[in-house]
Structure 1
Amino acid sequence: MKDVANCPRCGKIFVKALRPICQHCSREQEDNFDKVSKFMRTRQNRMATLRQVHEETKVPLEQIHQFIREKRILVSQFPNLGYPCESCGTIIQEGRVCESCKDNITSGLEQLEKEKDFAERRAAAEQAEKKRSVGTYHSLNDRISKK
């Protein structure tokens, strides 16, 4: 059975088949893509920035970002376009986070791994010390018989 859902953009009920949005919003999205595509295809607009594309076409920035993420607009052909990093908002051209945020995440994970390693070594050392102290005992009978 087909899934019935509310369109996340307009709220109308639609049968969810190929697209996550309704037919009307899908058509509107394609019209917006055509506007951006036509604007960018003209030679003098190929070096346009996101702001310039947005101002000239009146297409929302989020939708232009989506076109770039989906690789419908190729940044190799239009180098001044990009979309925001999911962490800090810096404009990037590929992936989900910028190099700076990626480095921060990596160093944080490395630090966590080092702390985990240290805790494991410390626990092992404490366990070994406990075994050594438990293995040594003294008997009262030994002291009494030697006198």
Structure 2
Amino acid sequence: MGELANCPKCNVLFVQSQFRTVCDKCFKEEEKAYETVYKFLRKRENRKAQLDEVVDETGVSKELILKFIRQGRIQLINFPNLGYPCEKCGKTIREDRLCEDCKEGIHKQIHQLEQEKMISDRNKHSARETTFYSQSPKK
């Protein structure tokens, strides 16, 4: 069951669902925009267009086109020059949410943190095992 929300585009109150994040009026506008983009990309001469070219030629916002791509409505496999930005660095990618460089950087950071934790745990463990002897003062 959906919940009441304000449309992020026009601020009208509507019932939000998993599939619909805007009101009916804005949803219909998005559908028209999708049709415009899809008709443009379907033409053979436009299949190699880049994202900025699609925005310029169709008048549809970059954010809305990216939304269609993320929803899987525009399949990138059919359009070799289309892509979307990496969520970390902004580099154009065609799959996942992060580019390979950012993924590799995150994996390195995780590995480094794991190494630091192992060293810290080892130091705590060895500190507990150390026995200290003291001599009582001579009388």
Kept in 2: contact 1:49–1:80 (CA 8 A) = yes
User: Distance between the aligned counterparts of 2:2 and 2:35, measured in 1?
Assistant: 30
Correspondence for 1:9: 9
Residues 6 and 121 of structure 1: is their aligned pair in 2 closer, same or farther, counting only changes over 3 Å? same
Q: How many angstroms does 1:94 deviate by? A: 1.1
User: Distance between the aligned counterparts of 1:54 and 1:103, measured in 2?
Assistant: 31
Correspondence for 1:44: 45
Q: Runs of 5+ in structure 1 lacking a partner?
A: none
Kept in 2: contact 1:6–1:13 (CA 8 A) = yes
1:110 aligns with 2:92: no
Q: How many angstroms does 1:2 deviate by? A: 5.5
1:57-96 map, 5 Å:
57-96=58-97
Deviation string, structure 1 residues 36-83 (Cα, Å, up to 9, x no partner): 000000111111111111100000001111111111111111011111
Q: How many angstroms does 1:10 deviate by? A: 1.3
Residues 2 and 48 of structure 1: is their aligned pair in 2 closer, same or farther, counting only changes over 3 Å? closer
Kept in 2: contact 1:86–1:97 (CA 8 A) = yes
Letter of the structure 2 residue corresponding to residue 50 of structure 1: L
1:29 aligns with 2:30: yes
User: Distance between the aligned counterparts of 2:90 and 2:136, measured in 1?
Assistant: 71
Q: How many angstroms does 1:86 deviate by? A: 0.7
Q: How many angstroms does 1:137 deviate by? A: 4.8
Cα-Cα RMSD = 1.7
Q: How many angstroms does 1:95 deviate by? A: 0.9
Post-superposition, which runs of at least 4 consecutive aligned residues in structure 1 deviate over 4 A?
137-140
Q: Could you say which structure has the larger radius of gyration?
A: 1
Kept in 2: contact 1:82–1:92 (CA 8 A) = yes
Residues 82 and 138 of structure 1: is their aligned pair in 2 closer, same or farther, counting only changes over 3 Å? same
Correspondence for 1:101: 102
Instruction: State how many pairs are aligned.
Output: 138
Kept in 2: contact 1:83–1:92 (CA 8 A) = yes
Q: Runs of 5+ in structure 2 lacking a partner?
A: none
User: Distance between the aligned counterparts of 1:4 and 1:124, measured in 2?
Assistant: 54
SS at 2:8 equivalent: coil
